[in-house]
Amino acid sequence: MRYLLWLLAFSLALPACAQRKLPRKAKPATAVATPKTQEPVLVYQRTPCYGRCPAYTATVYADGRVEYDGQRFVPLLGKHTLSLPPAQVADMLAEAKRINFSALADQYAGHTTDLPATLITVHPAGQPLHAVYASEGIPENLQGYIKYLNSRLDPLTGMSVEK
């Protein structure tokens, strides 16, 4: 038992001694410029249903980059980087402003559980973010905006545009 205590004390002291004998050289501090990650201006998500509803998320940036993640019943599955003309992204934000997206309720939902939903987050530069969840009881101006976004984003993935 006595030897066990000595062995334990020795094993605890050994690393401390090793650190004193081998001082580490300090690396000079270097200033590394980390680029600011651009914030998305629009996130558009179509959720699954109990049927064959397309499910994907498209995160849109002002420069036209679209980070896409196709989950179910879409021609393009998985994560991909796609692109839109920056002018088209600006048009999407202008359309959101036209329908007064920021004044819409946060949620339009009922009690039906098997319906697909659409989640839209709009965050124009220098303005507050606003998100809307829509599955039932969607006002006409929001329905029109959803169709508008589908017509711009679905063709990127090979989906036909719903009419």
Query: What pLDDT digit, counting tens, does each position of 24-33 carry?
Result: 444 444 444 4
Q: Give a yes or no: residue 31 inside a domain.
A: no
Encode burial over 85-120: b for 16+ CB neighbours within 10 A, e otherwise.
Answer: eeeebeebbebbeebebeebeeebeeeeeeeebbbb
Cα–Cα distance, 132 to 19 (Å, whole number): 57
With the CA atoms of 113, 118, 123 and 127 taken in that order, what torsion angle do they form, in degrees rounded to the nearest 10?
-70
Give SS3 for 55. strand
Identify the three-state secondary structure at position 45: strand
CATH code of 80's domain: 3.30.1560.10
- Domain tally, the chain: 1
Domain-located, residue 53 = yes
- Tell whether 69 is covered by a domain: yes
Domain for residue 72, yes or no?
yes
Tens-digit pLDDT profile for residues 125-153: 888 999 999 999 999 999 999 999 999 99
Domain range for 86: 42-157
The structure's pTM equals 0.75
- Asked, for residue 147, whether it belongs to a domain, the answer is yes
The answer to whether position 57 is within a domain reads yes
